[in-house]
A and B are shown apart, each in its own frame.
Chain A
Amino acid sequence: MKIQIKNLSKSFGNLKANKNINLSLDSGIHALLGENGAGKSTFVKIISGQLTPDSGEIIINGENINLGSAKDSIKNGIGLLNQDPLDFSNLSILESFLVGINEKKPFRKIENIKQKILGLFKNYGIEIELSSKTNSLSIGERQQIELIRLLYNGAKLIILDEPTSAFSLEQKKRVFETLKKLSNEGIIIIFVSHKLDEIFEICETGSILKSGELIENITKPFNSKKILSTMFENTEFHKSEQKYTERVNKFSIIISKSDLFNDYKSDLVHEYTFGSVIGIAGLQGSSNDKLIKNVFSNEFSKTRIIKQFGDPLKIENYYYMPADRLERGLFKDLNLLEHYALSISAKKTFLDWKIIKQTAIDKINKFNIKSNLNNSLSELSGGNQQRVMLSLMPDLESVLLLEQPTRGLDYNSANKIWEMILERKKQDIAILFSSTDMDEIWEYSDIIFSVSGNKIMDISYKNNLTKEKIIKFVSGLV
C-alpha cells in the first residue's frame, strides 16, 4: 500500500490548523511529532475521515479517496486508534467488533467472524472472552482490542494518536511488540506522540509539525537535540537551575494504616523540611493519584500532614489539583474571569468585579496564560488550562497536592509548569505530586514515594535512590 497526501489544508475560523501538508508513505513506522496545538490531531482526523479538509487530496495506491467520510477511509484500509478507546462500554467485545463491518449483508455468519477474531487474538497473544463486556476491561486491554479490530477491518495503515498515555509499562511493551510485528507484515503505522523515547524506540521515519506546517522530515538515527530545537523553534529553551535555600521548619506526614496495604504494623510518621517536593511514583492504574486525593479528603482516609510548630493546618491550606483538568479541576463553560471570581470572593456575599479583574490580569501575566478574560475554559489549550489551575493556587502558605501536573502536555509546556511549581518551594509547606513518568519524578522530587498497585513499596530521599530502583519498585519487583 502506498499513501500520498497532497497539499492538505484545514482552518478553523482564523486558525490555520493544517497548512499545505505533503506526505508520502509506503512502509514502516512513521512518527508524527509536534508540540500541543501543532496540528497533529487535525491531520490525523482528516486522514481517518472524521474531518473534511478545506483543500488537498489523499491518494491511496494511485486513486483519490473521498475526503471526510469515515466509511471511505475504513474501506481504503485506514484505521485510527484513538487516544481514548472509542468503544461501547455496554456492548460485548463480539458486538463491538460487529459494529460497522459488512453491515449491508442481511445475514452474517457470526461463527466465522468469531473464529477469525479468535485467530487474531491468538496471533497477538490476547486472552479475553469474546462475550465479556467492554466495561469490564482495563483501558490498555480495550486499546489492544481496538488495534485488533482495526486489523480485522482490513486496515493497511494504522494511525495511533498518542496511544500510550493510558498504558502501563507492561501493556506498552506488548503493544509495541504488536506494532513491530505489524510493521514487518507490511502495514504502515503512523505514530503520533510527543514522547521522544517512545519514538526513538519504535519509529524509523518521522515528520515534525509546527503551527500547522510540516517543517521537517527525519529518519533514523534521530538526533534528539535537533528534533527538540525544531519542534520548539523560537521558543526559549531554558531550564531553571535556581538553587533553593534549605528551610528549617519541619512537618510530618502521618500515613494512615488504612491507606497502606502492606505489612507495616502501625501508622507511619515521616518528617521533612518545609518546601520539600514529594513525588509519588506509580504506573498507570496504580493508586498514586489516590494517595494525593486522600490527603485532601477526610472522607476516605486518615492520612494527615502536621506542622511541628505554629497553627495547625486548615482546609484553606490545602490546594488540590485533579488530573482531569476539564472534568474535575475547572468549569469548562465558565470564562477565565469567573474562575478568579469564584476563588477570590468565595466567602463574600457580593462580587467586587474591580478587584477580581485586577487580580485576574495580574495572574494572567504572572502565569503567562495566553487567553482573554472572556474565553471559556474549554477554548484554551491543555497547557493554558493547566496554568490557569496553577494560577488559582492560594497565596497562603499551602500544601500543594498536584495530581499528574503535566499530564498530556508537551515537553516545553511541562517545563514551564514545573518552573511555576518550583517557584512555590520558597513559600509552601510541601508540594506533593503524582506522576507515571519516571523521568519527571526523578527530575523534580526531593523525596520519592514508590507505589505499586495499592501498596507503598518504598519511601526514600532521592539521594538514596536510582532511577532503576524506582522503576523496580513501581513495577512491584522488590
Chain B
Amino acid sequence: MIFFENTLITVISLSTPLVIAVIGETISEKSGVINLSAEGTIMICALFGFIFGYISDVATLGFLFAMFLGAGIAVFISYCDIKLRMDQIAVGFVLTILLSHLSNYLGQDYVRLNGPMITKIQIPLLSKIPFMGNVLFNHSFITYLSILLIPSAWFFLNKTTIGLSIRSAGENPLAASSRGIDVKKMRFLGTIIGGSLLGLAGATFSLYTKYGWSEGHTTNYGWIILAIAIFGGWNPYRAAVGAYSFGLLQVLAIKAQSVTLALSQILPLLPFPIMIFVLIFIQYINTKDGKYVPRVIVSLIAGNQPKALGEKLPEEIK
C-alpha cells in the first residue's frame, strides 16, 4: 500500500508540467492555432524561469516571468498567424529550432546551479484523510494549480461565453465572424492563454520537477505534449489522463531500475508505440470498417478535432 501511495504521489507531482502544458496546447488548438513551438517555448521558458528564480531567489518570480515569456512567444505566433497569414506549421518549427538552440547557448552559465526551492504545502484537515490525503493534498502549490487547471479549463471552454466563442473560431472562422464574433481576437486570446501555460510548464520543469538547468534540459517534452493533446481528443480531462499515464510510465521506469534494467529502459519508450497505435486506431474508426467498433470505445477514443485547426484565416476576415 505504501508503495502504491508513494507511486501515486510521485506521478502526480512529476506530471505537473505535462498537465499544465497539455492543457495550454489544448486551449490554443481549440481556437484553431497549433502552437508547434511547444518544444522550444518550454525549453526557453524553463531556462529563463530558472534564471529569474536564481537571481531574485524567489521561485514565484521565475514562474511569473516564464508565463510572460511564453505569452510573448505566443504573441509573435499570433502576429504571424493573424497579421501576416503565415503557415502555422512553418512558424512553429522554425521557432522550436531557434528557441531550443538559443536556450542551450544562453544557459551555459547556469548549468548545475542551485536556485530557489518550492516547498510542499499540506492542506489542513484534508491532508489528514488516510491515503487520499497524502496522495492529493500534500503537494507544492504548482501541483495544486495543475490539478485545479483541469476542471477550470474544461469549464472555461465548455461553460463560458468566451470559451464558446474561442471554440467557434476554431471550428469555422467564417461562420463565427458572420455572427459578429471577433475571430482574430478569439484566436489571439486562445494562443496567448495556451502560450503562457506552456511557459509556466517550462518553469515548472526547471524550478520543480527537473530541478536546475542543463543543456537540453527539457528535450522532447514539447513534442510529447503535442502528441498527448491529440491523444486527449481536445478534451482537458482526457488530455490530463494522457499526461498522468505518461508520468506513471516514467515513474514505473525509475522504480524498475532496482529490479531489472531492461524494463526500466523499455517503460519510458512505451508511450510512443501506444500513441502511434491510438492514432492509427482513431484513423481506423473513421473508415468504413470502423463501424464495428463498439460505440463506447469510439466515444472514449475519438476526439473532436477543431475543424479549422492549423488553417490560415480566410481572406474574408480582414
Chain A residues within CB distance 8 Å of chain B: 48, 50, 69-71, 74-75, 80, 82, 86-91, 95, 98-101, 103, 105-106, 108
Give B97 Cβ to nearest chain A Cβ, in Å. 28
Bound CA span A90–B172, Å = 10
Given contacts A87-B175, A88-B175, are A99 and B304 in contact (CB under 8 A)? no
Is B164 part of the binding interface, using a Cβ–Cβ cutoff of 8 Å? Answer: yes
Residues from chain B with Cβ under 8 Å of A50 in the complex: 177-178, 316
Q: Cβ of B164 and Cβ of A99 under 8 Å apart?
A: yes
B307 within 8 A of A: yes
Q: Which B residues are closer than 8 A to A by beta carbons?
A: 161, 164-165, 167-168, 171-172, 174-181, 304-307, 316
Give min CB distance, A108 to chain B, whole Å. 7
Q: A88-B171, A88-B175 are in contact. Are A103 and B304 (CB under 8 A)?
A: no
A95 CB contacts on chain B under 8 angstroms = 164, 167
16 contacts between A and B (CB under 8 A): A69-B180, A74-B180, A86-B174, A86-B178, A88-B175, A90-B167, A90-B306, A91-B167, A91-B171, A95-B164, A95-B167, A98-B161, A99-B165, A99-B168, A99-B181, A100-B165
Task: Name the residue among A70, A74, A80 with the largest chain B CB count within 10 angstroms.
Answer: A70
> Which one of A80, A90, A95, A103 has the greatest number of beta carbons of chain B within 10 Å?
A90
A80–B168 Cα distance when bound, in Å, is 18
From B176, B177, B304, give the contact of A90 (CB < 8 A).
Answer: B304
Cα A34 to Cα B183 in complex, Å, equals 32
Which residues of chain B are within 8 angstroms of A80 by Cβ–Cβ distance? 178
Give Cα distance in the complex from A106 to B161, angstroms.
Answer: 8
Query: Which residue of A is nearest B234, CB measured?
Result: A90
List the B side residues contacting A91 at CB < 8 Å: 164, 167-168, 171
Q: How far is the CA of A100 from the CA of B304 in the complex (A)?
A: 21
B172-A86 in contact (CB<8A)? yes
Measured in the bound complex, the distance between the Cα atoms of B164 and A82 in whole Å is 22
Other A-B pairs, 17, CB within 8 Å; known A69-B180, A91-B171, A103-B165: A70-B177, A87-B172, A88-B167, A88-B168, A88-B171, A88-B307, A89-B171, A90-B171, A90-B304, A91-B167, A95-B164, A98-B161, A98-B164, A99-B168, A100-B168, A100-B181, A108-B161
The CA of A86 and the CA of B168, in the complex, are separated in Å by 11
Residue of B nearest to A52 (CB): B318
Residues of chain A lying within 8 A (CB to CB) of residue B172: 86-89
Is the Cβ of A89 less than 8 Å from the Cβ of B164?
no
Closest Cβ neighbor of A134 among chain B residues? B171
Question: How far, in Å, is B313 (CB) from chain A's closest CB?
Answer: 14
CB proximity of B186 to chain A, nearest CB, Å: 11
Q: Which residue of the partner chain A has the closest CB to B305?
A: A90
Top-7 shortest CB links A-B: A100-B179, A71-B180, A86-B175, A88-B171, A99-B168, A90-B304, A103-B161
Q: Which of B168, B179, B181, B304 has the most CB of A within 10 A?
A: B179
B interface: dominant SS: helix
Query: For the complex, what is the distance from the CA of A446 to the CA of B147, rounded to whole Å?
Result: 70
Q: Given the interface contacts A90-B307, A100-B165, does A70 sit within 8 Å of B171 by beta carbon? A: no
Least Cβ–Cβ distance between B260 and chain A, in angstroms: 45
- Chain A residues, CB < 8 A from B306: 90
Per the bound structure, the CA–CA distance linking A69 and B171 in Å amounts to 21
CA distance A101 to B306 in the complex (A): 21
Residues of A within 8 A of B181 (CB): 99-100, 103
Bound form: Cα–Cα A75–B177 in Å? 14
- Closest chain-B Cβ to A113's Cβ sits at a distance in Å of 12
B179's partner among A69, A74, A108 (CB-CB below 8 A) is: A74
Among the interface residues A82, A98, A99, A103, which one has the most CB atoms of the partner chain B within 10 A? A99
CB neighbours of A108 from chain B (8 A): 161
Q: Which chain B positions have C-beta within 8 A of A98?
A: 161, 164
Task: Select which of B174, B176, B305, B307 is within 8 A of A99 by beta carbon.
Answer: B176
Q: Give Cα A86–Cα B308 distance, bound, in whole angstroms.
A: 13
A100 touches B171 (CB 8 A): no
Nearest residue (CB) in B for A88 is B171
Q: In whole angstroms, what is the CA distance A82 to B305 when docked? A: 24
Q: Which residues of A contact B161 (CB under 8 A)?
A: 98, 103, 105-106, 108
**Complex Cα gap A95–B161 (Å):** 10
Cα-based distance from A91 to B174 in the complex (angstroms): 15
Q: How far is the CA of A91 from the CA of B175 in the complex (A)?
A: 12
Q: Taking CB as reference atom, which chain A residue is nearest B175?
A: A86
In the complex, what distance in Å separates the CA atom of A71 from the CA atom of B179?
A: 7
Q: How far is the CA of A400 from the CA of B317 in the complex (A)?
A: 40
**CB of B304, distance to nearest CB on chain A (Å):** 5
For the complex formed, measure the closest distance between the CB of A327 and the CB atoms of chain B, giving whole angstroms.
Answer: 15
In the complex, A296→B178 CA distance in Å?
39
Cα of A80 to Cα of B161 in the assembled complex, Å: 23
Bound Cα distance from A82 to B304, whole angstroms? 25
Cβ of A70: which chain B residues have Cβ within 8 Å of it? Answer: 177-180
CA distance in complex: A69, B307 (Å)? 25
Q: Could you tell me if A82 and B165 are in contact, using CB atoms closer than 8 angstroms? A: no
Most-contacted residue by chain A among B165, B171, B174 (CB, 10 A):
B171
Residues of B close to A48: CB separation below 8 A: 178
How many Å lie between the Cα of A98 and that of B164 in the bound state? 8
Residues of B within 8 A of A101 (CB): 179
CB neighbours (8 Å) of A90 from chain B are 167, 171, 304-307
> How far is B2's CA from A85's CA once the two chains are assembled, in angstroms?
58
A465 to B84, CA, bound (A): 59
Name the A residues within 8 Å of B175 (CB-CB): 86-88
A87 to B177, CA, bound (A): 11
In the complex, A40 Cα to B95 Cα: how many Å?
Answer: 44
List the B residue with the shortest CB-CB distance to A149.
B179
A108 to B162, CA, bound (A): 12
Q: Nearest chain B CB to A109's CB is how many angstroms away? A: 13
Closest-by-CB residue of A relative to B172 is: A88
Most chain A CB atoms below 10 A, which of B161, B176, B305 = B161
The residue in chain A whose Cβ has the minimal distance to the Cβ of B30 is A90
State whether A100 touches B176 (Cβ < 8 A).
yes
Please name the residue on chain A nearest to B174 by beta carbon: A86
A185–B180 Cα distance when bound, in Å, is: 26
CA distance A105 to B160 in the complex (A): 10
Q: Find chain A residues with CB under 8 A from B305 CB.
A: 90
Residue in B171, B178, B180 whose beta carbon sits within 8 Å of that of A82 in the complex: B178
Smallest CB separation, A104 vs chain B (Å): 8
* CB closest residue in chain A, given B306: A90
CB distance from B104 to the nearest CB of A (A): 40
Write the chain B residue with the least CB distance to A108: B161
> Hey, which chain A residues are within 8 Å of B167, CB to CB?
88, 90-91, 95
CA gap between A86 and B173 in the complex, in Å: 9
What A residues does B179 contact at CB under 8 A?
70, 74, 99-101
B165 — which chain A residues lie within 8 A by C-beta? Answer: 99-100, 103
Q: What CA separation (Å) do A99 and B186 show in the bound complex?
A: 12
A89 and B307 contact, Cβ closer than 8 Å, known pairs A100-B165, A103-B161, A108-B161: yes
- B307 cross-chain contacts in A, Cβ below 8 A: 88-90
How many Å from the CB of A397 to the closest CB on chain B?
35
> In whole angstroms, what is the CA distance A298 to B111 when docked?
64
Chain B contacts for A86, CB-based, 8 A: 172, 174-175, 178
**Which partner residue on chain A sits nearest B181 by CB separation?**
A100
